[in-house]
């Protein structure tokens, strides 16, 4: 993380860091749902966890669990970033 220049902190740097985090998390969001659940489903279906073909599992179970983790991770990480820039509410 960009700890290098706390002096230049403030709204601008905070926003940049937020955008970087957003892009990463939205990429994961896209990969688990549209990626694993739809586009690469046929490929993933040759593997299985328990009785689930893997692509099918992502489409009907796994993507939803990842969504939850993504939101709570974002909420936690943003709290940290906001405290760092002294912008928390």
Partner 1 sequence: MSTQMLIYIFVAVSFALYIGIAIWSRAGSTKEFYVAGGGVNPVVNGMATAADWMSAASFISMAGLIAFMGYDGSVYLMGWTGGYVMLALLLAPYLRKFGQFTVPDFIGTRYYSKLARTVAVICLIFISFTYIAGQMRGVGIVFSRFLDVQIEMGVVIGMAIVFVYAVLGGMKGITYTQVAQYCVLIFAYMVPAFFISMMITGNPIPQLGLGSMVNDGSGMYVLQKLDSSLQAMGFSAYTDGSKSMIDVFCITAALMIGTAGLPHVIVRFFTVPKASDARKSAGWALVFIALLYTTAPAVAAFARLNFNGTVNNTAYAEAPGWFKNWEKNSLIAWVDKNDDGKMEVSKGDAFKGSPEFTGGTGPEGQRLVSNQILTDNPNEVYVDKDIMVLANPEIANLPGWVIALVAAGGLAAALSTAAGLLLVISTAISHDLLKSTFKPDISDKGELLAARIAATCAIVIAGILGIYPPGWVAQVVAFAFGLAAASLFPAIFMGIFSKSMNKEGAIAGMVTGLSFTFLYIAYFKLWNPDANAADNWLLGISPEGIGVVGMVLNFVVAIAVAKVTTAPPAEIGKLVDSIRVPRGAGEAHAH
Among the listed residues 57, 68, 81, the one whose alpha carbon sits nearest the alpha carbon of residue 29: 68
- In the region spanning residues 3 to 62, those forming contacts with partner 1, defined by CB under 8 A, are 10-11, 14-15, 18, 22, 25-26, 29, 33-34, 37-39, 41, 45, 49-53, 56-57, 59-61
β-bridge partners, 49: 52
Question: 1 vs 16, which CB is nearer to partner 1?
Answer: 16
Residues 30 and 86 sit within 8 Å (Cβ to Cβ): no
Name the maximum alpha-carbon separation found in the chain: 54
Strand, helix or coil for residue 9: coil
Among 4, 5, 7, 75, binds partner 1 (CB under 8 A): 75
Token representation of residue 33: 């749902």
- For binding to partner 1 (CB under 8 A), which residues are involved? 10-11, 14-15, 18, 22, 25-26, 29, 33-34, 37-39, 41, 45, 49-53, 56-57, 59-61, 63-65, 67-68, 70-72, 74-75, 78-79, 82, 85-89
């Amino acid at each position: 993380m960009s700890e290098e220049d706390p002096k230049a902190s403030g709204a601008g740097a905070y926003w940049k860091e937020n955008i970087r985090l957003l892009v990463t998390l939205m990429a994961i969001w896209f990969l688990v749902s549209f990626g694993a659940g739809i586009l690469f489903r046929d490929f993933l279906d040759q593997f299985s966890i328990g009785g689930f073909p893997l692509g099918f599992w992502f489409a009907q179970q796994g993507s939803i669990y990842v969504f939850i983790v993504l939101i709570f991770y974002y909420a936690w990480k943003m709290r940290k970033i906001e405290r760092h820039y002294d912008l928390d509410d």
